[in-house]
């Protein structure tokens, strides 16, 4: 970039058409580019945003809670590629065409807000959080200095302060993370830092093998975190669980001793309050005692953190047993962060603590209702009595109901959930997850999260599975 | 959770007021909670979203590009806490109060969309990307399986395919990351995996010291990544740069030899195309030759990836020298991801490749214009001739213009940029970043990114700095 004065020319007369014709008055050209005025047409842009907002209101927000609409409009990848115009071209598309594309994107996307979307650990539409997220996207902030993000930093501080109060601590610190996997990674990094602060500068070279303990039911992100942090996936020791999926404390202590005998360095126990599949809660008191005896850091992975809509008192009560003091100089692995605390703050403002608690209580009551219904109905069988909101169950079609529960029965039952899932996706009436788990053949897993879900949807869930599977 | 049948009661008569009275017909009570009907009032919720959308249109989208509005409404943390009602209470707030809160959040937030927000490596309002982000927030997808995210997975595939074509590769793979810091962390992890795949399972225990090379001008996230990955921040070797901030290849080779002699394991060179401060480009050809000779992985950190609004041909051309084959089994450190490719796809659809290229060309032309103006104006001094779009300069107030450039001059000049920055923040007329850098006292750094920026804003930038600083 040299300062060639000849490059610049005052311009008169016609300047040709661009996205928007820049101002001609005193126009300045550099390398043939007119620099006066903006190139974007603000009026047209604003109109586009307004029209898109109307589309979003109609097609997403309104239809989201409408049980007469489909949960999904299933298409195979090949069909969907035909239906969508994905190609990016040299020249741009006009705004009406872009709106059509938006409509297609919405049409073929899964409606995770639908009251009958039960597929994952997120569901339902919270209007307040949605508004907070719209504001965030429009303001486009990045949370790292007070200078650029004054409001959102204070909001995050206020939310963390309130959460810390709830837990019952006098002081504390925290950070909002993009999700559970990243949170577990932070926890492992912090525990390692506490165990051996030198690692930050020197790395793991020359040190003994670091070992992490977690239950055999824990989230798979533990192994991922251990790989990423240079600890190694093999150095995550999975402690055996009882019949309900809870870590057995005696097994933990045995494994800690074994690791010590092998010359390894045990430094962390990741307990789980609400495992992914069974919703089991590890016995934190006993585990905390073992950690204290062996000088191990205790982290509790509460999966509820992931779902803002079921968050209040149950989250905080479960967390009071462990101490987390963050490495304040290195709070976030990314430099720029979205103000995730803001959406949570907005829900909290809108519902109040009591409103949040009511949502959790209702979700749990709906879970209890569903459990009772499963017990009453022919052809439905609980995997186990649920401890929390995860309800795992099989649907046994009429053809299998008289069969003995031997290898043939389980082999046949294993095929039922996937077949029903395919039918429900193609019909679009419902989405519900299934999986095998530690020797148990494919079963359905229901977790009530959405505030839009009603008793009628619980009935529908079972009716629809029966309807889709009764000829199998 | 036991199956106590007595808990359930059919309910008649008055059921009391909740957020919305659930349906009484055939109502079912579990533990005193009525499970029929939703508890959220969809009509009220929709109205709230609609009103908030209007607010966002007026207060953010429309005012964003209005140069007559302030860039920021500066308040100290103490003042701002007084002005905002941050407290979360037991009971929720009514919707009109929530809208007032939204208005306050917007009012006191920095307007990063404003044409005179030059503070960071993001700026400006792209209407198309904004719509894509609104759709994303409304649909609330998470990209990990085709089942729950069919459209966004195909969109990401299409965008990556197109980017790979641009680079000129026959095949390739990729992922959209939350930003540069996380991208660098991935790069380091992948390079380590390539060097020694066993680390994934076994960890770094018992292995020699791993060493990374990067320029002294590189992004600070390199040290953070090395700490996090267990490599250790000290094992990031900073290679000396030339006067323009480019890595000196001979220095790199010297350091690689030295690391080898020390018994360490050099495995990665992180070159930079567009350094954070000076916008310098490392000499990739020479560095690639050294990497080939020593069997080192070459990663190029292109900071432009962070700013979607200036992305097209310049990004891709600079990237063609290195090979990135991703560890496909472990693509993302988090489990759930936002479909970040979708907003980029929407811009690309709207502007076309040529429109994106035009944006970049115009940003560069504006940069050249500003450089010429800085040279022409009294009291402005370039730190160095810029190589790209980062323009670093000092403003020298009249009282210092006759002073010899000795220690006293530099000490006094060091105070000028912070003092001007404070004045511009309080006035709200402009936001521009400043910093000291490797022995150079505080200077301003301007990077043109926003498509809304005009030649007039470049003039304003210099006029305003002069206006704010001329009495110093």
Tens digits of per-residue pLDDT, A393-451?
999 999 999 999 999 999 999 999 999 999 999 999 999 999 999 899 999 999 988 88
SS3 state of residue A415: coil
Residues of chain B neighbouring A112 (CB-CB closer than 8 A): 139-142, 148
Q: Would the CB atoms of A130 and B49 count as touching at under 8 Å?
A: yes
Closest-CA residue to A182 (of A235, A228, A122, A230): A228
Q: pTM, whole model, 2 decimals?
A: 0.89
Contact B199, B188 (CB under 8 A): no
The alpha carbons of chain A give a radius of gyration, in whole angstroms, of 27
Strand spans (E) along B274-349 = 297-302
Contact B155, B341 (CB under 8 A): yes
pLDDT tens figures, B445-465: 999 888 889 999 999 999 999
B142-339 belongs to CATH 3.40.640.10: yes
What's the pLDDT score for residue A169?
Answer: 83
Closest-CA residue to A236 (of A329, A315, A301): A301
pLDDT tens figures, B343-369: 999 999 999 999 999 998 999 999 999
Q: Would the CB atoms of B452 and A40 count as touching at under 8 Å?
A: yes
Residues of chain A neighbouring B87 (CB-CB closer than 8 A): 158
What's the pLDDT score for residue B471?
Answer: 96
Distance between CA atoms of residues B432 and B442, nearest Å = 12
The encoded tokens of residue A306 equal 């992931």
Looking at CATH, the fold of the domain delimited by A345-470 is given as 3.90.1150
pLDDT tens figures, B191-223: 999 999 999 999 999 899 999 999 999 888 899
Contact A392, A367 (CB under 8 A): no
A330 pLDDT tier (thresholds 50, 70, 90) = very low
Domain locations in chain A as residue ranges: 142-339, 345-470
What's the pLDDT score for residue B331?
Answer: 55
Q: Is the pLDDT assigned to residue B334 strictly greater than 60?
A: no
Answer whether B331 touches A (CB < 8 Å): no
| Per-residue CA distances from B303 to A262, A362, B221, B315, B411 (Å) | 45, 47, 12, 9, 31
Which value, to the nearest 10 degrees, does the dihedral of the CA atoms of residues B185, B191, B195, B196 take?
A: 40
C-alpha atoms less than 13 angstroms from C-alpha of A20 in its C-beta half-sphere? 16
pLDDT tens figures, B74-84: 999 999 999 99
Residue from A20, A151, A235 whose CB has the most chain B CBs within 10 Å, to mutate: A151
pLDDT tens figures, A52-96: 999 999 999 998 779 999 999 999 999 999 999 999 999 999 999
Q: What is the ipTM of this complex?
A: 0.89
Answer whether A227 touches B (CB < 8 Å): yes
What's the pLDDT score for residue A24?
Answer: 54
Mean model confidence pLDDT for chain B: 85
Q: Would the CB atoms of A130 and B137 count as touching at under 8 Å?
A: yes
The encoded tokens of residue B463 equal 């006029």
Residue from A15, A92, A111, A116 whose CB has the most chain B CBs within 10 Å, to mutate: A92
Mean model confidence pLDDT for chain A: 85
């Amino acid at each position: 970039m040299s300062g060639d004065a000849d490059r610049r020319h005052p311009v008169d007369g016609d300047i040709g058409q661009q996205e928007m014709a820049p101002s001609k008055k005193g126009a300045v050209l550099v390398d043939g580019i007119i620099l006066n005025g903006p190139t974007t047409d603000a009026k047209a842009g604003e109109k586009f945003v307004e029209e898109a907002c109307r589309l979003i209101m109609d097609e997403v927000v309104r239809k989201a809670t409408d049980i007469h609409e489909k949960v999904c409009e299933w298409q195979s990848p090949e069909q969907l590629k035909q239906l969508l115009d994905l190609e990016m071209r040299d020249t741009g598309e006009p705004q009406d065409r872009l709106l059509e594309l938006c409509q297609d994107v919405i049409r073929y996307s899964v409606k995770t807000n639908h009251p009958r979307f039960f597929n994952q650990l997120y569901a339902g539409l919270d209007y307040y959080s949605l508004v907070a997220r719209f504001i965030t996207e429009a303001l486009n902030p990045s949370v790292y200095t007070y200078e650029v993000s004054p409001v959102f930093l204070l909001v995050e501080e206020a939310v963390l302060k309130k959460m810390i109060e709830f837990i019952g601590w006098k002081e504390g610190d925290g950070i909002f993370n993009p999700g559970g996997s990243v949170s577990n990674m932070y926890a492992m990094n912090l525990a390692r830092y506490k165990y051996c602060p030198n690692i930050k500068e020197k790395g793991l070279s020359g040190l003994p093998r670091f070992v992490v303990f977690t239950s055999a039911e824990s989230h798979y992100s533990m192994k991922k975190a251990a790989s990423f942090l240079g600890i190694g996936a093999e150095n995550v020791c999975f402690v055996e669980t009882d019949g309900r999926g809870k870590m057995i404390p005696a097994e933990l202590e045995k494994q800690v001793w074994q690791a010590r005998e092998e010359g390894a360095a045990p430094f962390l126990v990741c307990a789980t309050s609400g495992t992914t599949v069974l919703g089991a809660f590890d016995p934190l008191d006993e585990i905390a005692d073992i950690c204290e005896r062996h000088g191990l850091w205790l982290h509790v992975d509460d999966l509820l953190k992931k779902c803002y809509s079921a968050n209040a008192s149950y989250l905080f009560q479960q967390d009071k047993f462990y101490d987390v003091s963050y490495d304040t100089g290195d709070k976030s692995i990314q430099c720029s962060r979205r103000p995730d605390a803001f959406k949570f703050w907005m829900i909290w403002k809108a519902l109040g603590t009591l409103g949040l608690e009511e949502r959790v209580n209702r979700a749990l009551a709906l879970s209890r209702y569903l459990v009772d219904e499963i017990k009453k109905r022919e052809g439905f069988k609980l995997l186990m009595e649920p401890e929390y909101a995860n309800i795992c169950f099989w649907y046994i079609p009429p053809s299998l109901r008289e069969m003995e529960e031997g290898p043939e029965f389980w082999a046949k039952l294993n095929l039922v959930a996937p077949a029903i899932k395919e039918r429900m996706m193609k019909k679009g009436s419902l989405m519900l997850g299934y999986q095998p788990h530690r020797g148990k053949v494919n079963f359905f897993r229901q977790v009530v999260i959405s505030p839009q879900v009603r008793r009628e949807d619980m009935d529908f869930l079972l009716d629809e599975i029966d309807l889709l599977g009764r000829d199998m």
